[in-house]
Amino acid sequence: RSPHKQGLFLPGTQIPIFGPDHVAQTKPDYLLILPWNIKDEVMEQMAHIRDWGGKFLVAVPEMQVL
């Protein structure tokens, strides 16, 4: 959610960082959550992605589709 990170890329990758408005407009199938320790908070804040069938991916400690 940090506006300072939006529009940048995950270090060492070409994975873009988008803000909540962009996510709502583009309706991705999956939303990758890397800070696993706050996954519940992120999933609550972004729960609306389930309205179009979107799912959450959490990669740590193991890959999960939620």
Q: Is residue 23 part of a domain?
A: no
Domain that holds residue 56: 28-65
Q: Are 11 and 29 in contact (CB under 8 A)?
A: no
What 3-state DSSP class applies to 66?
A: coil
Q: Among 17, 25, 24, 28, which Cα is nearest to 45's?
A: 24
pTM for the model: 0.84
Say how far apart CA 49 and CA 66 lie, in whole Å: 12
Residue 16 lies in a domain: no
In a domain, residue 48? The reply is yes
Does the residue 36 lie in any domain? yes
pLDDT tens-digit series, residues 13-31: 999 999 999 999 999 999 9
User: What pLDDT score does 47 carry?
Assistant: 97
Written as one string, the DSSP assignment of 1-28 is --TTTTTSB-TTS--B---HHHHHHH--
Whether 54 shows a pLDDT value over 80: the answer reads yes
Does 6 map to a domain? no
Number of domains in the chain: 1
Q: Is residue 38 part of a domain?
A: yes
